[in-house]
Homo-oligomer: A and B are copies of this chain.
Amino acid sequence: MVRPRQPILTRARIVHVATTIIDAEGLDALSMRRLATELEVRAPSLYNHFATKEEILDAVGDAIIAEVDLSMFGRDEWPDALRAWARAYRAALSAHPNIVPFLARGPGRRPAALRLADAVYGCLVDAGWPPGYATRIGALMRYLVAGSTLGSFSLGFVDDPEFYAAAYPHLADAHRLPEHRQQVDEGAFELGLDTLVAGLTVRFDELARSRTGTLS
């Protein structure tokens, strides 16, 4: 018994096609009309499934973040879990770099982003970090991941050697080349991750020792 007409549009199809457009041509390329055309439909039909364009973007972002593995929390020790999670998070975002500027606005009403934040916070608190530290460490890791995928450093450098060479001699280096930009962002991320987790481990031990000291 086949149901003869299944609905032409579903939220999942809309999100999938929207993601494809953004990945291929950037955030600005996604318009309601363009998205509708790609779905072989007229633009207003989309409003039967999403109230606004922003809701569609939220759904796209949520689907990407939902892919981030969180299984290391509760399994590994907090320093290893933090490292593994940050790398998984960064990998998920750099697979869809064009949507990062939108995600950077904050977790908003995207459940996966909140689940993510909740998981990190919970892991750190369970490990013994004071809540205030757990909140700040979670934020810090977000800065690192968002910053290194946003292209805040590498993107935006103009592809015009002449533009730099004269006025900014120090910058006339390899990081201007597109293929090196990824390396700079990934290298900066790894340097930051190593340095932060190592430093936080030291601080954690100091905190534990000071508590023990108070008790003894």
Of residues 114 through 161 on chain A, the ones whose CB sits less than 8 Å from some CB of chain B are 114-115, 117-118, 121-122, 125, 131-133, 135-140, 142-144, 146-148, 150-158
Q: A186 — nearest CB in chain B belongs to which residue?
A: B136
Is A143 within 8 A of B136, CB to CB?
Answer: no
A interface SS class: helix
Q: Does any Cβ of B come within 8 Å of A171's Cβ? A: yes
Min CB–CB distance A25 → chain B (angstroms): 16
A187 to B138, CA, bound (A): 11
> Can you identify 17 A-B contacts, CB atoms within 8 angstroms?
A105-B150, A105-B151, A106-B153, A106-B157, A114-B168, A117-B171, A139-B147, A139-B152, A139-B188, A140-B144, A140-B147, A140-B192, A143-B148, A144-B147, A146-B147, A195-B200, A198-B199
Q: Does any Cβ of B come within 8 Å of A203's Cβ? A: yes
- Point out residues on A near B: beta carbons under 8 Å: 101, 104-109, 111, 114-115, 117-118, 121-122, 125, 131-133, 135-140, 142-144, 146-148, 150-158, 163-164, 167-171, 173, 175, 184-185, 187-189, 191-192, 195-196, 198-200, 203
Cβ–Cβ < 8 Å partners of A189 in chain B: 143
Cβ–Cβ < 8 Å partners of A169 in chain B: 118
A122, A148, A164, A199 — most chain B CB neighbours (10 Å): A199
Is B115 within 8 A of A152, CB to CB?
Answer: no
A167 to B115, CA, bound (A): 9
Min CB–CB distance A102 → chain B (angstroms): 10
Question: Which residue from B106, B132, B151, B175 sits with its C-beta under 8 Å from A155?
Answer: B106
Is A170 within 8 A of B106, CB to CB?
Answer: no
Cβ–Cβ < 8 Å partners of A185 in chain B: 139
Question: Which residue from B115, B138, B153, B164 sits with its C-beta under 8 Å from A114?
Answer: B164
Top 6 closest pairs, chain A to chain B, by CB: A106-B156, A143-B147, A195-B199, A139-B188, A139-B153, A136-B188
